[in-house]
Structure 1
Amino acid sequence: MAIFMPTFQILTGINSILFYAPVLFQSMGFGRNASLYSSALTGAVLASSTFVSIAIVDRWGRRALLIGGGIQMIVCQVIVAIILGLKLGSEGELSKSFSILVVVIICFFVAAFGWSWGPLGWTVPSEIFPLETRSAGQSITVAVNLFFTFIIGQSFLSLLCAFKFGIFLFFAGWITIMTIFVYLFLPETKGVPIEEMIFLWKKHWFWKRIVPGYSEAEGE
């Protein structure tokens, strides 16, 4: 979890959009100033949507937000890829209406990240480890996050040139994988004290085979 959660958080493509938003929007046909305004807009949406997660995470649970946010991000990425593939590929430049639509959809994508994988990519690893290994687990989480931030930051422009509109499908594929991962392998941690977290893993259908000390009596 300390490895896959931060890895998937970066493979949503959020850093690519935030780091290279002016370049990305200019490549879609936006003007220089418009691309900068769009970049500022996505940053504001990300910051504000984080408060949604703060308000509902303890009511809805971590899994619901991660899966729901993943589905919303997949839909947004696929829609943007379709628009760019059909319009930008044939016409070489987006019309004003399609440009606005792309910005709106990207804002929906950023908002989905802001209330799901953005904050919870840090929250979940911080609360799933027992006290004995918590510091080591968090250290791994931070190191992996920074490593993949560096990898995606260095490779995004090359990927954009190679894949063109397919870059959004590339990230949508990773979001699909990570949403399935959460559904299958992440137990719900809402309201569980850190001291009792080990029992979640002992009862989980997969992790109970790995976590030591499990017995059928405990599972009941």
Structure 2
Amino acid sequence: MPSSKLVYNWYISLVAASCMVLYGYDASVFNAVQGSKNWVAYFNKPNTQIIGAINTSYTVGAVVAGFFLGGPLADYAGRRVGMAVGAAFVIVATFMQTFSPRGNIACFIGGRVLIGIGQGLALTAGPIYIGELAPSAIRGQVMSFWQMFYSVGSFIAYWVNYACSKNVPKLGEWDWKMVVLFQLLMPIAIIAQVFFIPETPRWYIQHGNRIEDARRSLQRVRDTEEEVEAELLTIREAIEFEAEAISSGYSALWKDKSVRKRMYLCLILNAGQQVTGQGTLNTYSTIVYKKVFKSASTIALINALNATFGILFTLNATWTVDRFGRKFLFIVGAVGMAICMIVVATVETQTPTIDGAKSLSVGIAIVFLMFLFAFFYKPSWGATTWIFTSEIFSMNVRAQAVGMCSQTQNVANSIVQQFFPTFLKNEGFYAFYMFGGINVLLAVFVWFFIPETKKVSLEEIDTLFGGSNHVEKGAEIVNFDEKQARVHSVELDGENKPVTTTTEHRN
């Protein structure tokens, strides 16, 4: 039986992982509403360039928040505040989108920008929170739920959309408004819980050396006092070294050669996550399936089933990521996705079209291949990219680095999403050969450049990238200071008698 502390650690991690539900829902909701004739008519039949701009507007907000706001907010006010503020932005933006005046696409786009900002804040704070509180032995398993919750968001969005698509005559314009409005569910749940879970001990020590607060935080998630004190000392040593020997903030991302190397690797990995084809499929699968199927409800059902299986596929990361390692999953996932993309392109382009659609057998084959693509993507480039990004940076730069690297996903996604609708319209499924080639290149990149990080503590991971061991260096500084603090000095009391005193320099 797992201990009560371990169960509680899973609970607080899943509260933080709920931020990913925001991302998964929003990434899927616009894909879903594109299949609504009422939405298309409500906004005066937007063309492919407007469709691309709606997605780009979201990514602009997310990139600005992730690059420039998420890290400073999570560092200054805490990881919990970062998640809560992000959720609050999503609530406001949801109302803007749902109740946009008829034909006013600018208001809808404005809501998309605000949602992007909210998610940029929440998606920076969330993985940092999990990485800093989860024990290193299960950190990979816990972080795999981060990506799984993306699938949970898609699951909710697509099944709500499917239910609405079956009741269009009754709902009217609410067939798409209901789908958008359901996005309120998760940000409200996050705000209701986030301030009842502990702040991370690393944040407490970094801000005012609040050792007792950090100790109380650890006592809520560790089984023994020995574990608490050992981890507390490790954190103090690492932060001591980072404070005295290296700088913090955005400039530190480029000054330190080891950190700079990690930035390059993570920027490529996070951009690669989106150009595998998954980001495009999650946004435009409705348009893709329209080339194969005629029924809107059939397409909605396929999207809903894909999201459902996505949850199950992501669960594979919980038992593979710490067993086989991050690097293994990256390579196997990329090779599997490459094969799926090449085969699906070949199947669609080399089979005849009958009455404007493919035969049922061809359609089933394409859907199977798309599901198989998700099987390879979810536990590898889906979950493992977030795990790797959240664990490889030291405390002094973690918030800024995670924010910038994770939002590189949106930079890459916005570029692809802007041109993909037109690309697909002009080239059809030949476009998928591009994704096949990209995945092959990503597998080669990981083979040569990405080190294995499974079960390495956060404070000692720097050594994998040519950096100093922050724990050992910090211990040297702490031991030197304590020796200096314990030097006996002779003082005179009020009667000029010598008194020997010992002063503790630290708590």
TM range (shorter): 0.7 to 0.9
CA contact (8 A) 1:22 1:38 kept: no
CA 1:3/1:89 → structure 2, altered by over 3 Å: closer, same or farther?
A: farther
Q: Post-superposition shift, 1:92?
A: 5.5
Give the Cα–Cα distance (whole angstroms) in 2 for the partners of residues 53 and 12 of structure 1. 18
- In the alignment, does 2:306 pair up with 1:36? no
1:59 corresponds in structure 2 to 323
Distance 1:145 1:72 in 2: 21
Q: In 2 relative to 1, CA 112–136 (structure 1 residues): closer, same or farther, beyond 3 Å?
A: same
1:85-96 alignment, distance < 5 Å: 85-88=349-352, 93-96=357-360
Alpha-carbon spacing, 1:201–1:86, altered in 2? closer, same or farther (3 Å): same
Q: Distance in 2 between matches of 1:28 and 1:169?
A: 18
- CA deviation vs aligned residue, 1:158-207 (integer Å, no higher than 9, x gap): 121233112111111111111111111000011111222122122xxxxx
Matched residue type, 2:285: A
Would the alpha carbon gap of residues 57 and 20 (structure 1) be closer, same or farther in structure 2, given more than 3 Å must change? same
1:165-180 paired onto structure 2 within 5 Å? 165-180=429-444
Q: Offset of 1:112 from its aligned partner?
A: 1.1
- Note the 1:106-117 alignment, pairs <5 A: 106-117=370-381
- Aligned-residue offset at 1:90: 9.2
How far residue 44 of structure 1 moved from its aligned partner, in angstroms, is 1.4
8 Å Cα contact 1:23/1:35 also seen in 2:
no
Which residue type is aligned with residue 40 of structure 1? A
Gaps of 5+ in 2: 1-264, 470-507
CA contact (8 A) 2:271 2:412 kept: yes
Q: The residue matched to 2:266 in structure 1 has which SS?
A: coil
Q: Does the 8 Å contact 2:389/2:406 carry over to 1?
A: no
Q: Deviations over 1:131-162 (max 9, x none)?
A: 22222210111221222222222222012123
Offset at residue 28 of structure 1 (A):
2.1
d(CA) in 1 for partners of 2:451, 2:291: 41
Task: Decide which structure has the larger Cα Rg and report it.
Answer: 2
> Would you say 1:157 and 2:421 are equivalent positions?
yes
1:9-24 aligned within 5 A: 9-24=273-288
- Offset from partner CA, 1:27-47 (integer Å, 9 cap, x none): 124422211111112111222
The CA RMSD measured in Å over matched residues stands at 2.0
Percent identity reads 26
Which residue in the other structure is 2:367 paired with? 103
Aligned residue pairs: how many? 205
Whose RCO is larger (CA < 8 A, sep 6+)? 1
| Secondary structure of 2:311 counterpart | helix
Q: 2: distance between equivalents of 1:5 and 1:88?
A: 37
In the alignment, the residues of structure 1 paired with residue 421 and residue 352 of structure 2 have an alpha-carbon distance, to the nearest angstrom, of 18
Checking the alignment, whether the CA contact within 8 Å between 2:462 and 2:468 is kept in structure 1 is no
1:100 deviation in Å? 0.5
Q: Give the match's secondary structure for 2:439.
A: helix
Give the secondary-structure state (helix, strand or coil) at the position aligned to 1:2.
Answer: helix
- 8 Å Cα contact 2:293-2:299 kept in structure 1: no
Q: 2:454 aligns to what SS in structure 1? A: coil
TM-score w.r.t. length of structure 1: 0.86
CA distance in 1, matches of 2:405, 2:386: 8
Indicate yes or no: 2:461 matched with 1:184: no
1:107 partner amino acid: F
Q: Indicate conservation of the 8 Å contact 1:30/1:99, yes or no.
A: no
Q: Deviations over 1:42-61 (max 9, x none)?
A: 11122221111022210010
Separation (CA, whole Å) in 2 of partners of 1:140 and 1:198: 19
